[in-house]
Amino acid sequence: MDEVMFLRGEFGELLKAAAADPGVCWLPLRHHSPACAAMALEQLQRRQPQAVLIEAPGSFIRHLSLLQRDTVVPPIAIYQSGSYYPLAENSPEWQALRWATAQGIEVIFIDLDEKAQEGGVSNRWSDSRFLSSDYSRRLQQQLGCRDADELWQRLFEQQNFASAESFFTQVLLFCAASRACFGTDSLEEMGDLARETQMRAHIKAARRRYERVAVLTGGFHTPALINFADEAEAIVVDDTQDSFVIRFSDALLDARKGYSAGMPYPAFCRWQFQQRQLNADDWLLYLLEQMPQLPLIYKKNCFEHLQALCSLRGLARPGSYDLLDSLGSCLIKQQLSASTLEPWQKVLSGDALGQLPADQPSLPLVEEVLALCRKARLQTDKPGRCHFDLYAMTDKHIERRRLLCRLLFVGSGFARPQNGMPVIRQLKFNHRHEHWNYHWTPAVEVALAEKSSLGLRLELVVKRRLSELPQEDLQQLVEKLVLALHLGMPEELSAHAIAQQISQCSDIQQLANSFMTLLAAAHHPLFADIELLAYQKALWHQVGFHLPAINRLSDQEAVKLLLDLQSVAVLHQDELESPWRDRLRWLTSHNAHRPVLYFVLQALAIELDKLDPAPLLQQLQLQNDPFPVIEALLKVVPHWLRQDHGLLPMLNHWLSELSEAQFIDKLPAMRGLFCALDAREVDELCRRLLQLNQWDNGLNWLQYGISEQDFQQGLALERQLRIDLEQQGLSQWMSN
């Protein structure tokens, strides 16, 4: 109780201090609040200040003349150093700025520039702190609100106030109570104290020059600004050219999509400001008119439901939460799915895009990229995402893809393939179709402007970024070459440097990977006109020369490498099969190998010459532990499993000799061996096992007549097995 009485006293003193100087009109606000915008206009008209002070970085004043032009249509934003300062039609700052312009009075931006603030704080105009304070959370619980935005709407957007002055008094008290939940350390860490020092200095200077001033700041800061008389001079920051005025959009303004200083449903907020003079019923009718797709009977039901809901909740007019609640109730009542609300949420969110004067100089790089997009027939004027499917490898499609790759590579945020960045860093023989999404947004313009420090043309930016990539070894250099192919700039890599790296590399893994990569590029239709044959020949020669080094690799790595090389040799038999056969023979006769590698090399040679594998399998029977070899052979020559005197009898005999503990130990690996077989192959395997073991009963591995209940029980059993295996440290059993 003592604490409550203390706070009451503090807030009483705050109100007295705010009223002590009649020459200062305090306008504490929430950014983008329609009620704050409307009430600010009312107060400005009543108090007639001689200057309007706005919470915005001082360096933004260089954009004031542009912001005052009639051809500027919000939403727009000023961008600087990774931060946006958006202005919507329902933003109090925008309405105050336009009012001051119409009255011919001075506008002063009083916030501290980010460069003058130590540490730089992201989202410094966020309203999240005063909305998420303990005070706000307790009010949400007390009033039954779902979140802080619904609380704000009920307290300020959906109530009638006796005057604008009484409205701002309530906003000031709400924000002061929220601010009281944060200590000095927190305020300093977030940069509030330094910014408020700058604001107080500007207010003091303006008050000396003018008899009447209006101060528009976030309500969280206003309590700290009222006692400005003893403040020192404001920090003067050199005029900087690193901020840009850009178009903004409803999608970027929406708090539901991550904008921490925004409010939910930007279009709805705009309507709230534009139609604030309407009475409750007319406002309700206006909202329903914005939904022409909603059938008339639903509109009638929703109208009646909303009237009753507002009466029940004690609200003067419906907000977005109430409208959606009523729509949901009425639609569900008509036996429609609740997901039917999604189109109406989209309507409330809006798709407006701001406009800037046609004679406004474009941001660096932006105009050129827009021209390139138009030439490639990529749409940049649609509010939503666009799509591009690459099927035909025509010159126009390749040119369009190349532009998308360049914009993806420089990090513009404009385009993204369905499979992400690997599309322009990897190549697959069987991957010829691509699906791209692209969307021109204000954020794209900002990203391009930031990249302009690397060059004033997209081609120069791409070359600069490409030159910064490492090329310390052969694999990095080849990956960089493939990337350059995607970007349409193979000439950016020195042919001499590539040839030198190939000749100097002795890493068999790098050589093989590089060869496979360039082979995929050479046979991809995207790069049909690029000459890569010389690199392929040099790499193939080096791979063959350093092939004995496979003994340094693990069995798994060596088997994969050999299998890849054999596949390539068979695929290009006219050129590569004969030298590959010779190299295998030389390797098996001149080098000692581990058992797995020895048998794999022999199996590959047998496959090339189409010989009988029986002699090799007889050698395998002499191994003390043949399973690692069998496991490798099933990856290299899986069809040997189907031969009458092949791997299956040997595997069957070896398993029969194992103890139960040994069998359980091998079970996960066995599962991995056979999981790649299809149903027909498994059925044939079961038939042959019956014959080999002379079993009387069949192996009924196929289940018939499975009910949904059986299926659900099976899923539950699988989940429980996973839990049990993890608890027993047997997670590897599930790895395949």
* pLDDT score, position 705: 67
- Stretch 189-209: mean pLDDT, rounded? 93
Given 3-state DSSP classes, what are the helix, strand and coil percentages for the chain, each rounded to the nearest 5? Answer: 60, 10, 30
Burial of 308 (0-12, 13-18, 19+ CB in 10 A): exposed
Largest CA distance in the chain: 108
State the pLDDT at residue 568: 87
Q: Are 603 and 597 in contact (CB under 8 A)?
A: no
Who has greater pLDDT, 26 or 393?
26
pLDDT tens digits, one per residue of 351-385: 898 999 988 877 788 889 999 999 999 998 887 78
* Residue 204 CB partners (closer than 8 Å, separation 6+): 228, 229, 231
Residue 40: pLDDT band (50, 70, 90) is very high
Q: Give strand pairing partners of 247.
A: 76
Per-residue model confidence as pLDDT tens digits over 268-279: 999 999 999 999
Residue 336: is its pLDDT beyond 90?
A: no
Regarding beta strands 243-247 and 76-80, do their DSSP bridges make them parallel or antiparallel, or are they unpaired?
antiparallel
pLDDT at 1: 43
pLDDT at 626 over 90: no
- The answer on pLDDT for 196 being more than 90 is yes
* Band of pLDDT at residue 505, cut at 50, 70 and 90: very high
Render 65-121 in DSSP notation, one character per residue: HHHTSTT-BSSEEEEETTEEEEE-TT-HHHHHHHHHHHHT-EEEEEEPPGGGSTT--
What is the strand order of the sheet 386-390 is part of?
386-390, 434-438, 415-417
Mean pLDDT of the chain: 86
* pLDDT for 458: 95
- DSSP letters of 494-521? -HHHHHHHHHH---HHHHHHHHHHHHHH
Specify the DSSP element, H or E, that contains 386. strand 386-390
Please give the Cα distance from 415 to 405 (Å, whole number). Answer: 8
The better pLDDT of the pair 239, 664 is held by: 664
How confident is the model over 229-250, as pLDDT tens digits?
A: 888 887 776 666 678 898 898 9
Listed in sequence order, the DSSP H helices in 474-594 are 474-486, 495-504, 508-522, 533-545, 555-571, 578-590
> With 80 as the cut, is the pLDDT of residue 553 above it?
yes
- The answer to whether 622 and 592 are in contact (CB under 8 A) is no
**Residue given tokens 């360096």 in the structure block:** 59
Kindly list the domain boundaries of the chain, sorted by start residue. Answer: 2-257, 266-349, 366-460, 703-736
Burial of 241 (0-12, 13-18, 19+ CB in 10 A): exposed
Residue 26, SS3 per DSSP = strand
The predicted-structure confidence for 95-145, as pLDDT tens digits, reads as follows: 999 999 999 999 999 999 876 555 555 556 677 777 788 999 999 999 999
pLDDT digits (tens, 9 = 90+) for 514-537: 998 888 888 888 887 888 888 989
As a whole number of angstroms, the distance between CA 286 and CA 265 comes to: 16
**Residue 703 binned pLDDT confidence (cut-offs 50, 70, 90):** low
